[in-house]
Amino acid sequence: MSSAAYPPPSAPPANMFGTVPGYEGMAAAGGGGYLPPPMPLQPVAPPQPTPEPEDWSIPSLSEDDARDAFKDYVSSHCCYNKGPASDGVITKMEPYDTYRYRLETYTESRSTEWATKPHEGEPADFYTQTAPRPWEVPATAPNLFTNHTEEIRVPYTSSVKDCNSCHSTGTMPCDECHGDGSKVCWVCNGSGKRGEESCTQCDASGKERCDKCDSRGTKECETCKGKRQLLTYIQLKVEWTNNVEDHVVRQDSGLEADDLRSVTGKELFKNNQYLLYPLLGFPNPAISEASEKMVREHQSKYAQNARILQQRQTVELIPITKVKYKWKSDSHKYYVYGNERMVDCDKYPATCCCVIQ
């Protein structure tokens, strides 16, 4: 059967998507956007300051640790001579206390849209009871500060409709043969001949069977998967998102700030509450200022279209040590940074010719 015998797919009819109380703002082709959470029934207690730690301990790097880190770095480069790492004499070590403040605001947001799926016998419960409002639908949150998305069919919004893509036939024309069940022979290009002789590929017919549809001329409807009917319903998307923001205090060691993103530091402080109070009393005032600004901005920004479930703030000391050393009477330097004791050495003094400094 030619594809001309099949009417083209039609747009969903206007009555395909009903009107559900509490979901009036939804369009048939899209969703209702992110929905602000309802106001809490009970007053929310204001955030409270947390006790200040008695001691902000700052670790230091020993010469042995610095030398071992340098040796490991050199060993990982096949074209580096081990002499500077083994024989170099450390002349000075300069520590740089570099702090990273991290604020995490864990939120739950909800959005809705009309959805369809092939009807597989599910009951049509539209209007059998009042549908729960978006924030009334039960959803189990994952562990705190874990990103997760869940899609839920809203109860009492489901109805069964005929598939508009295939006009309830369950099939569509094959896009390979356009519904004919056969296609032009690739050997003779439809002529039925190869030179003066008949084409043996298609037995001189100029056509060959369509393997994609097994010569039926049709394929299963992709919309209804051959079921002929669709279940339409309101789909609720619940997203749990850990919104993370970092502030790294500027340091003047000479090491690029981008290098610090790949390492961890010594955790000096961590606390979490439903709503945080800015961090007070930190020895470096830049951290306290960043905390006050970021906590205020997060609580204002994320409470508009989401429900804040928990906040967590962390202060890390990212250890950075500039190590100066002498090798063969010349002075050189390298950096050791992070808990991982990564090394940065732009100009290693003993490389083979395959290394371009």
Close Cβ partners of 241 (under 8 Å, ≥ 6 residues apart):
106, 107, 109, 147, 306
Amino acid identity, position 102 = R
pLDDT of residue 155: 94
* Per-residue b or e along 268-302, where b marks 16 or more CB atoms closer than 10 Å to that residue's CB: bbeeeeebbbbbeebebeebbbbbeebbeebeeeb
pLDDT of residue 327: 93
Q: Could you tell me the two tokens for 67?
A: 């030398």
Q: How many other C-beta atoms are found inside a 10 Å radius of the C-beta of residue 198?
A: 14
Q: Could you tell me the two tokens for 261?
A: 């993103």
The per-residue pLDDT of the chain, averaged, comes to 85
Q: What share of the chain is helix, strand, coil (3-state, %, to 5)?
A: 15, 35, 50
pLDDT of residue 44: 56
Amino acid identity, position 135 = W
Residue 187: pLDDT above 90?
A: no
Give ∠ CA 75-79-81 in degrees, rounded to 5: 65
| CB-based contact 109:307 (threshold 8 Å) | yes
Q: Could you tell me the two tokens for 89?
A: 């004499």
Residue 292: pLDDT above 90?
A: yes
Amino acid identity, position 355 = V
Residue-wise pLDDT tens digits, 6-17: 555 555 555 556
Give the Cα separation of 332 and 84 in Å (integer).
Answer: 9
Q: What percent of the chain has pLDDT above 90?
A: 50
Close Cβ partners of 182 (under 8 Å, ≥ 6 residues apart):
207, 208, 209, 210, 215
Residue-wise pLDDT tens digits, 102-152: 999 999 999 999 999 999 999 999 888 999 999 999 999 999 999 999 999
Q: Could you tell me the two tokens for 168?
A: 């309830």
Q: Could you say which DSSP state residue 328 is in?
A: T
